[in-house]
Amino acid sequence: MRASRVSEKIIEGLLWLSAIITVLVTIGIIWVLLSESVSFFSEVSIIRFLTEKEWTPLFADKKFGIMPLVAGTFLTTAIAIAVALPVGLTIAVYLNEYAHARLRQIVKPMLEILATIPTVVYGFFALTVVTPFLQTLIPGLAGFNALSAGMVMGVMIIPMISSLSEDAISAVPRSLREAAYGMGSTRLQTAFGVMVPAASSGIIVSVILAISRAVGETMIVAIAAGQQPRLTLNPLVPIETITTYIVQVSLGDVGHGSLEYKTIFAAGITLFIFTFALNNLSFWIKKKYQEKYD
């Protein structure tokens, strides 16, 4: 009896330990990013990092302005959301208000296939199919550009927005929809006048999560967007994102402890701050508006 009680305690301890590992992972991430970037910022002032307009840590003439990488990340993300938000939201509304239940059952999992395809495969698609196609339409388009990387990234996150938004719209109580129909509204008026506003917190959460995903996405931009950090909003030229820069340095031979090595952690902590803020914002919105209809 006693032995079994002891082993129960040991098992519980082991289970507790596995749960605590997740906290250690978070601490590990923050510690690694902070410790390496603190030593980076002791050599390069944070003001230079935030205000210089060029990012050339690998050249002889070193400039450490993160802005070009942030601009590249922002540009590809904005293009991706410009593709995924209208399409994803339309799909969500169409599946919820118009489509037969059976069509929804078939289409939803098929769309989710888009989210399971490895991103390196999307990168290949952007580079070898989408860019040549766009070049026939836009003569000045460079071989590496933000436009096709962003568009393909948009396709990748369509199911994220459509699925989560669809869930949010189906969670709206039936009575609201019936009231709208009772007033003589068409399906379109019901959808965009009543259902979408009522589900807006859930839809906003899905969009914020999609933005966070696009900001952190790596392989598509590393393959198709180029490796030229530049401070521009022109989607037709090569750019570089934060994630691409980290890949670029990782592929090279940069000595451990060198300033170049530390730049990837400075870039990493910038990326982490962006996605952490977005994820917490979505979490906060979800928490705040969750029980609106209960």
Partner 1 sequence: MTNSDINRFKDKAFQAFGIFCTFLGLLVLAIFLFNILQQGLSRIDWDFITSLPSRRAARAGILTAWSGTLWILVLTALIAFPIGVGAGIYLEEYAKKTRLADFLEINIANLAGVPSIIYGLLGLEIFVRQMQLGSSLLAGALTLSLLVLPIIIVTTREAIKAVPGSIRDGSNALGASKWQTIWHQVLPASFGGILTGIILSLSRAVGEAAPLIVIGALAYVPFVPSSPMSAFTVLPIQIFNWTSRPQAAFQNNAAAAIIFLLLITFLLNGIAVYLRNRQQKKIKW
Question: In the window 75-104, what residues touch partner 1 (CB under 8 A)?
Answer: 86-87, 90-91, 93-95, 98-99
Q: Is 6 in the site for partner 1 (CB under 8 A)?
A: no
Q: Is 228 in the site for partner 1 (CB under 8 A)?
A: no
Q: How far is the CB of 133 from partner 1 (least distance, A)?
A: 10
Residue for token digits 């050249």? 59
Amino acid in position 38 = V
Q: Is 203 in the site for partner 1 (CB under 8 A)?
A: no
Q: Which of 233, 280, 290, 293 binds partner 1 (CB under 8 A)?
A: 280
Q: Report DSSP state, residue 255.
A: P
Chain residues 44-73 in contact with partner 1, contact rule CB under 8 A = none
Q: Judge contact between 229 and 68, C-beta under 8 A.
A: yes
**Residue 224's closest CA among 116, 72, 111?**
72
The stretch near partner 1 (CB under 8 A) out of 22-30, 47-55, 165-173, 193-201 is: 22-30
Chain residues 106-165 in contact with partner 1, contact rule CB under 8 A = 107, 109-111, 113-114, 116-121, 123-125, 127-129, 155, 158-159, 162
| Angstrom distance (rounded) from CA 143 to CA 127 | 8
Q: Is 233 in the site for partner 1 (CB under 8 A)?
A: no
The total of other beta-carbon atoms located within 10 Å of residue 21's CB is: 10
Chain residues 250-279 in contact with partner 1, contact rule CB under 8 A = 250-251, 256, 264-265, 268, 271-272, 275-276, 278-279
| Angstrom distance (rounded) from CA 156 to CA 158 | 6
Q: How many residues bind partner 1 (CB under 8 A)?
A: 84
Q: Is 170 in the site for partner 1 (CB under 8 A)?
A: no
Q: Which of 3, 14, 47, 101 binds partner 1 (CB under 8 A)?
A: 14
Residue for token digits 């860019």? 131
Which stretch of DSSP H or E encloses residue 75? helix 67-93
Q: Is 284 in the site for partner 1 (CB under 8 A)?
A: no
The total of other beta-carbon atoms located within 10 Å of residue 234's CB is: 13
Residue for token digits 């590809």? 76
